[in-house]
Structure 1
């Protein structure tokens, strides 16, 4: 809504990571280069920790882009993965055969043979472990054991763990001290200072097309720094909402009262930043003023954009409103028969490139659970993007629900962040089409 008013070409403060908006200040650029160097050295385990919203995901995406072409990456993105599923998950991502009835030793041998072949070809393999603080001690120990795969002189698998500060608490447990001792590089993403935030705001605005004087003066930046505690996600939220508040005031300067209005409507507002009652207007009033201002400006020669791309109302609406391809009416989902879903999913898997991504949402123990899933937590999703395939869980038949079709990991992660809250509570994670094809192929072979 405010983009044209400020001369912006796109939204400058989206909370979804976008590598085109990577800010190298606040030591982030130096950390990125340090991680690339540490991976190239290929010794020990690397640990990156930071608070929620400190920029770990952005850093992970940038790291993948900056690694040389001779380094191959694999992701372990599901924090709920069980110890016995770590190896099958890695093999699936690498599109390697992993029969469901194979032993751990057989899976390990398959992975070791692959890593040796990559090593002989002068290629390196690095595994990114995301949300590591949510993993059990047994799963973390299983990951540690993978670091034992090595030649006489070099590690075959480099491991980079990303997690919140709670990861350090887990690593302090004596039961996994061997993992802690294998960590040779430990990096903590420190919160931005007020000066960092001022430079960050200017950088994001310029990248989005802004060419005017500073919108956020030092006084305003100090308020943002205190309210956000230096966390980039909070800075983005406050900056976005304050620009909307300034737009409704028809001013090109962000004032302290605009920040306080934005803070009033932020979920992380802890009540420490009290303001006079006349400043603490609700978000409904702000949005109403924005709409009225829009109608007023529409009658003028310089009209605001006809299709707002990012409004405060959109941020505060239920998560389902921001989910990818949300159906307008999901009360009656045209699901078709269960077998039809299986058939169309099988055809779809064969037609997609192996490197395409989808989102794994849920595991069903019984086909009869699928209609309930469609009318329950799956009701906020586009029905034509919901697919299902036969799988196995702990040796028993099961059915896996997947969603969407994305050309890259970045696009899939963006969609993952926009899933309805009811779906995200089940901890969905990314899968490659090639990995799923291998999984279904192995299950078919076992069943013969």
Structure 2
């Protein structure tokens, strides 16, 4: 049975509104997401050596990256790495692979680094900037982060030849702020911490997703949306999961509208496992964590 044969036709949707696949077309531009995206664009336009974006699991970081990729012009060469791991030399191979640069994996580290440097110089001469996006960067070792930091020293006169965007979970911010990461921190020209949605944003987010697939946006009552916020802490991925289960339950009961009782039934049955979602210490309507530097410090 096709997934669309479940509740999609019953509610008149074109497709499922709450899938977990990062899709920039479904992105709800909350104030938080607009600011985070502005930081990403600022990082590229200002030739920032390193841009840092952090947020909880499911906060929408990867979706923002996908949205950014869809807007990049031909004058920017993008490399995207997800969940890179490994020691010295292996990360360099990840980078070459992401940038579609041919290399011999049996060559020495010095020769491999020279291949990357030659590629960066060629792109610079052709008038193209190179941007490397590392998603789930909290999985990198300190050695890996230091190796990335050293890449920002590759330059032509005053221009950085490769820009880095580090995207990861909150612990990434803690790692880069550690005393032994001081040189890396000095190269971060802009950073933003993406928080969860607040109680006012969650209903707007749900209505947006419903309308994107042809729904009215009124399939969930206000009380249901409040229950969903309380159970998910406003984390978009968890909101999607709980809304999906609620639609399934309502469809099974031939109910055109999802109310608070339906959400409570989903939670009571234990099919939704995200009820212990972490909450941010500060409300999202306060001033977000945004940091700018005029330019990154240069290390030897």
Fold agreement, TM-score > 0.5: yes
**183, 187, 200: which one pairs with 1:182?**
187
Tell me: CA distance 1:34–1:168, structure 2 relative to 1, closer, same or farther (3 Å).
Answer: closer
Residue 245 (str. 1) matches residue 253 (str. 2):
no
C-alpha RMSD of the superposition? 1.7
1 CA distance for matches of 2:100 and 2:218?
50
Which residue is 1:267 aligned to?
273
**229, 236, 240: which one pairs with 1:232?**
236
1:51-62 equivalent positions in 2, closer than 5 A = 51-62=56-67
**Ranges in structure 2 where 5+ consecutive residues have no aligned partner:** 1-5, 278-300
SS in structure 2 at match of 1:66: coil
State the Cα deviation string for residues 348-376 of structure 1 (Å, max 9, x = none).
Answer: xxxxxxxxxxxxxxxxxxxxxxxxxxxxx
Which residue is 1:15 aligned to?
20
| Conservation of the 8 A alpha-carbon contact between 2:28 and 2:208 | yes
2 CA distance for matches of 1:145 and 1:135?
15
Tell me: CA distance 1:15–1:26, structure 2 relative to 1, closer, same or farther (3 Å).
Answer: farther
- Count how many residue pairs are aligned between Structure 1 and Structure 2: 270
Q: Which has the higher contact order (CA 8 A, sep 6+)?
A: 2
State the Cα deviation string for residues 425-447 of structure 1 (Å, max 9, x = none).
Answer: xxxxxxxxxxxxxxxxxxxxxxx
Q: More deviation in 2-11 or 76-85?
A: 76-85
**141, 159, 163: which one pairs with 2:168?**
163
| Conservation of the 8 A alpha-carbon contact between 1:128 and 1:160 | yes
2 CA distance for matches of 1:260 and 1:109?
59
1:249-398 equivalent positions in 2, closer than 5 A = 249-263=253-267, 264-270=270-276
SS in structure 2 at match of 1:5: helix
**131, 138, 146: which one pairs with 1:126?**
131
**37, 40, 48: which one pairs with 2:42?**
37
Tell me which structure has the larger Cα radius of gyration: 1
Tell me: CA distance 1:247–1:100, structure 2 relative to 1, closer, same or farther (3 Å).
Answer: closer
SS in structure 1 at match of 2:20: coil
Which residue is 2:283 aligned to?
none
Q: Tell me by how many angstroms 1:69 deviates.
A: 2.0
SS in structure 1 at match of 2:131: strand
Tell me: CA distance 1:92–1:15, structure 2 relative to 1, closer, same or farther (3 Å).
Answer: closer
Tell me: CA distance 1:82–1:53, structure 2 relative to 1, closer, same or farther (3 Å).
Answer: same
Which residue is 1:207 aligned to?
212
2 CA distance for matches of 1:116 and 1:199?
46
Which residue is 2:101 aligned to?
96
**Structure 1 runs, 4 residues or longer, greater than 6 Å off:** none
State the Cα deviation string for residues 70-93 of structure 1 (Å, max 9, x = none).
Answer: 111112323322222122222233
| Conservation of the 8 A alpha-carbon contact between 1:36 and 1:66 | no
Which residue is 1:139 aligned to?
144
SS in structure 2 at match of 1:161: strand
| Conservation of the 8 A alpha-carbon contact between 1:24 and 1:30 | no
Tell me: CA distance 1:59–1:260, structure 2 relative to 1, closer, same or farther (3 Å).
Answer: same
Q: TM-score if structure 1 supplies the norm length?
A: 0.58
**Ranges in structure 1 where 5+ consecutive residues have no aligned partner:** 272-448
Q: Tell me by how many angstroms 1:19 deviates.
A: 2.0
**85, 92, 117: which one pairs with 1:80?**
85
**65, 74, 79: which one pairs with 2:70?**
65
Q: TM-score if structure 2 supplies the norm length?
A: 0.85
Residue 222 (str. 1) matches residue 226 (str. 2):
yes
Which residue is 1:5 aligned to?
10
State the Cα deviation string for residues 312-346 of structure 1 (Å, max 9, x = none).
Answer: xxxxxxxxxxxxxxxxxxxxxxxxxxxxxxxxxxx
Q: Tell me by how many angstroms 1:233 deviates.
A: 0.5
2 CA distance for matches of 1:17 and 1:221?
22
Q: Tell me by how many angstroms 1:53 deviates.
A: 0.8
